[in-house]
Amino acid sequence: MAEKDKIGVIGLGLIGGSIALALRGKCEVIGMSRTPATVEYALKEGIISSAAKSYEEFEGCKAVFVCVPLACVRAEVAGLYRVLGDSTIITDVGSVKGMLVGQEGRIIGGHPMAGTEQSGLRAAKDRLLENAYYILVDYNGNAEDLGYISRLVSEMGAIPRVMTAAEHDKLVAKISHLEHMVAYSLVNSVLNGEDEIVGSGFMDVTRIASSAPEFWNTVVSLNRDNLVEALDKFIEGLTALRRDIAEGKDVTRIFDEAKQKRDRLTYRKKFLSSYTMYVDVADSRGEVVKVLSKLADAGINIGNLTVVNSREGAGGALRLEFMDERDYLKAKETLK
């Protein structure tokens, strides 16, 4: 890959902005957004090298990342192809890949499996994709283009994995889309809109219910069959667990099996975009400041922090989130 290849980014939100930041300095990044204020901010902060107002201005780009809302991806890719033809690699970041099957051109589908509940350019981070899996789909048999995008993804710090569109959509229905449906349903079944007392376990399990409802409605419509299959299997397992509990059976084996599977994931943190640590601090003035000062003195960047009101299942009163493994491990050593 040339040192200063031109790369386009259409849609400067959380993911598009993070891609631009991750490639800043390595490539000449040309950005495009429908919101003038977003473009102005991106230029002011040096997130992009220059701004484009039309597809024609992406001519000469080695690749263009389409980072628009999921419902708009197919139309945006088709429109870009009508202008640029086969002169440019077009790659998207949508979380459903079947929607681009049959699209003409040098199309490489992409899905960076990272993100936060926050949205917009100001939430973008240059290391958001670090150590996160980045699924790639080669729709039209362009091995050279696939290799180029794979190298770009590695430059961002992500881990490229190649799948077919069908394999991807079946996988994410189980490991991502299903979990959001469960979180939404759990919140609606437990909370009644009044002031609630909830534990940290509930907050952890339902964190993703704060994600954008409109986006997830689009996901459901685009990956319906796979999601229904995943929901059916989940409901089957939950129904079996309910039956065993109702009959007074010992369900330790079921819990232990799940614990072992989950623990194995904990030690393979590369699939995560954040690393979480709970710190036990005394409920007295200045204790939280001491922890934060130690981390700051060690040059450790904290992605997010929360004071936990209920320690049930948490093991600590301060929840710290780090955006990469290096900061997580360094903080663990600093605070041990």
Topology of 169-266 in CATH?
6-phosphogluconate dehydrogenase C-terminal fold (1.10.3660)
**pLDDT at position 313 over 70:** no
In this predicted structure, what is the pLDDT of residue 265?
Answer: 75
Q: Name the percent of the chain lying above pLDDT 70.
A: 92
Listed by start position, the domains of the chain span: 6-163, 169-266, 274-335
In this predicted structure, what is the pLDDT of residue 304?
Answer: 76
**pLDDT at position 125 over 80:** yes
- Categorize the per-residue pLDDT at 319 as very low, low, confident or very high, splitting at 50, 70 and 90: confident
CATH number assigned to the domain with residue range 6-163, chosen from the 4 options 1.20.140.10, 3.40.50.720, 3.40.50.2300, 3.30.1330.10? 3.40.50.720
Lowest mean pLDDT among 15-24, 179-188, 196-205, 233-242: 196-205
In this predicted structure, what is the pLDDT of residue 315?
Answer: 44
Q: Which residue has the higher pLDDT, 324 or 294?
A: 294
- Each residue's pLDDT tens digit, 75-84: 999 999 999 9
Mean pLDDT of 203-222: 91
- Each residue's pLDDT tens digit, 276-294: 787 877 767 788 888 989 9
**pLDDT at position 32 over 90:** yes
- The vertex-202 CA angle with 199 and 205, nearest 5°, equals 145
Sheet holding 28-32, edge to edge: 50-51, 28-32, 6-10, 63-66, 89-92, 107-112, 133-138, 159-162
Tell me the average pLDDT of the chain. Answer: 89
**pLDDT at position 314 over 60:** no
Same fold: 169-266 with 274-335: no
In this predicted structure, what is the pLDDT of residue 272?
Answer: 52
Q: Which residues contact 243 (CB under 8 A, 6 or more apart)?
A: none
In this predicted structure, what is the pLDDT of residue 77?
Answer: 97
Lowest mean pLDDT among 1-15, 24-38, 45-59, 260-274: 260-274
In this predicted structure, what is the pLDDT of residue 3?
Answer: 60
- Each residue's pLDDT tens digit, 259-275: 999 888 766 654 455 67
In this predicted structure, what is the pLDDT of residue 200?
Answer: 77
Q: Which residues contact 14 (CB under 8 A, 6 or more apart)?
A: 115, 116, 118, 119, 120, 121, 123, 124, 128
- Each residue's pLDDT tens digit, 59-114: 999 999 999 999 999 999 999 999 999 999 999 999 999 999 999 999 999 999 88
Topology of 274-335 in CATH?
Alpha-Beta Plaits (3.30.70)
Q: Name the percent of the chain lying above pLDDT 90.
A: 67
Query: Pick from 328, 322, 273: which is nearest to 111 by CA?
Result: 273
